[in-house]
Amino acid sequence: MRIRTSFLTVFASFAIAIVANAQTATPEPEPAPAPVPPTDLVVADTPDDAGNSVEVDWQLSGTDIFNPLNTDAKDTDPEQIVAVYQVERKVADGNGDVVSEEELNWRQVSESGAGESHWTDRSVKRGWAYDYRVCAVDNQGDKSPWCNAQGSVSPTMQMFNMSKAWLAIWMILFGAFIAYFINHARSGKKLWVRKIAGLEAIDEAVGRATEMGRPVLFVTGIQDINEIQTLAGLTVLSRVAKTAAEYGAQIEVPTCRSLVMAAARETVEAAYLAAGAPDAYQPDRIHYLTDEQFAFVAGVTGYMVREEPAACIYMGGFYAESLILAETGNHIGAIQVAGTAMPSQLPFFVASCDYTLIGEEFFAASAYLSGDPLQIGSLKGQDYGKFLSVLVLVIGIFFATIGSMTESDTDEGFGTSALDYISNNILGSEGLGSFGGGDTDIEGDDS
């Protein structure tokens, strides 16, 4: 009986202690405040595309320390600072296609870092309609309320890339000039083309090699066959090989790409055939060395030092190896002719070679050497294209001058607007746009 009494006493005191403790316990801490949500979510079809992307833009959250409008960034509650933005998407209309359950519900499609207010969704299907929403998430994983886009967006395909409208106009104009002059030449009218000393020197160089009984070295650059400079180099090779075949000189063509070797062999073989010396053609003289830039240089310069070719001709795309090749050629006393469209390598060739074809001269070489009226006609068209470019430059300079004279703080003036249109639209990538229309609006013209 006594034991039972003491047990009840202990139990009662224990129960009273628990209740008292419960009454005096500190209250549960309030949940950390969620970040301020991003605002103004705007979704739009990407202009000038095949209908496979959507542009998603929002205004940064007020507790994003990278938000330029958040002037009190230092005082932002650390628990509210935005870590990432989560973008969710769901299909609003499948355009008659079967849409999976997963696609019909909200699901996360992107997570952008703090300070980022733009994302391009490239996983959409053309013709479907999508809803988007975005929220800010802090470092604790607390999410802000969602910011929903106003209405759905449906990615659509544009028939023509309007941002390249001016490029198309230039190409048509330029093509028309060339076509006109090719036609003009076809009718038998003589076209005058200025003498290009570097190309005139090619015959002299091959002749010298023949007299000295040494080979002619021809390098087509280090680019592959899909580069226009290599093709331009091969067209010159055709003429050089024909001259070499006529003179009885040997031509050596080391290549840096296997496909270039195959193409160069065809070119040289046909040139020897055209010159009436098919037996003199030696395919092994057109050979592959290596794809590695400086290993190729080592191979070619080694050949130059050993065999001492009398003429070295470099026509194609070159990089840092240009000077090593040209200086080695200079050292062995070869007559050197170079042509490239790499502006950074031109000074090296000019310094080390006897003749250098600068940029457009290099591309004109094939037409010039062939003497074919049709090709010469294309050169004439190229000149008119250049005239047009100079005209645009002069007009641009004129408007820049007018703009700087008339511009005030409040009014940009006609000159500045015209200059902006020339640089951003005519020469830039903003398409036809509108005169004085300012920056491109990504939600703009979808036509």
Residue with tokens 């070719």: 309
Restricting to residues 43-82, name those near other proteins by CB under 8 A: 48-51
Nearest residue (CB) to other proteins, 152 versus 161: 161
Q: To the nearest whole angstrom, how small is the minimum distance from the Cβ of residue 244 to other proteins?
A: 14
Restricting to residues 337-356, name those near other proteins by CB under 8 A: 341, 343, 346, 348, 350-352
Q: To the nearest whole angstrom, how small is the minimum distance from the Cβ of residue 208 to other proteins?
A: 21
Decide if residue 166 touches other proteins (CB under 8 A).
no
Read off the tokens for 57.
Answer: 């833009």
Decide if residue 327 touches other proteins (CB under 8 A).
yes
Q: To the nearest whole angstrom, how small is the minimum distance from the Cβ of residue 447 to other proteins?
A: 12
Q: Which residue from 41, 244, 300, 326 is in contact with other proteins, where contact means CB under 8 A? A: 326
Site string for other proteins, 381-420 (x = CB under 8 A): xx--xx--x-------------------------------
Q: Which residue from 29, 306, 409, 410 is in contact with other proteins, where contact means CB under 8 A? A: 306
Nearest residue (CB) to other proteins, 9 versus 389: 389
Measured CA distances, 194 to 163, 200, 233, 338 (Å): 37, 11, 21, 19
Decide if residue 238 touches other proteins (CB under 8 A).
yes
Measured CA distances, 313 to 221, 241, 329, 342, 357 (Å): 10, 11, 10, 16, 11
Q: Of the listed pieces 34-42, 80-88, 92-100, 360-368, which binds other proteins according to CB under 8 A? A: 360-368
Q: To the nearest whole angstrom, how small is the minimum distance from the Cβ of residue 441 to other proteins?
A: 18
Q: To the nearest whole angstrom, how small is the minimum distance from the Cβ of residue 236 to other proteins?
A: 8
Decide if residue 370 touches other proteins (CB under 8 A).
yes
Q: Of the listed pieces 194-202, 208-216, 362-370, 400-408, which binds other proteins according to CB under 8 A? A: 362-370
The answer to whether the CB of 138 falls within 8 A of the CB of 342 is: no
Pairing of strands 54-59, 286-288: unpaired
Q: Which residue from 169, 374, 391, 397 is in contact with other proteins, where contact means CB under 8 A? A: 374
Closest CA to 416 of 385, 438, 442: 438
Distance between CA atoms of residues 247 and 205, nearest Å:
11
Count of positions on this chain that bind other proteins (CB under 8 A):
86
Distance between CA atoms of residues 370 and 374, nearest Å:
10
Distance between CA atoms of residues 240 and 206, nearest Å:
8
Decide if residue 188 touches other proteins (CB under 8 A).
no
Alpha carbon dihedral 241, 245, 251, 256, in 10-degree steps, equals 30
Distance between CA atoms of residues 368 and 366, nearest Å:
5
Residues 6 or more apart from 239 whose CB is under 8 A from it? 202, 271, 365, 366, 369, 370
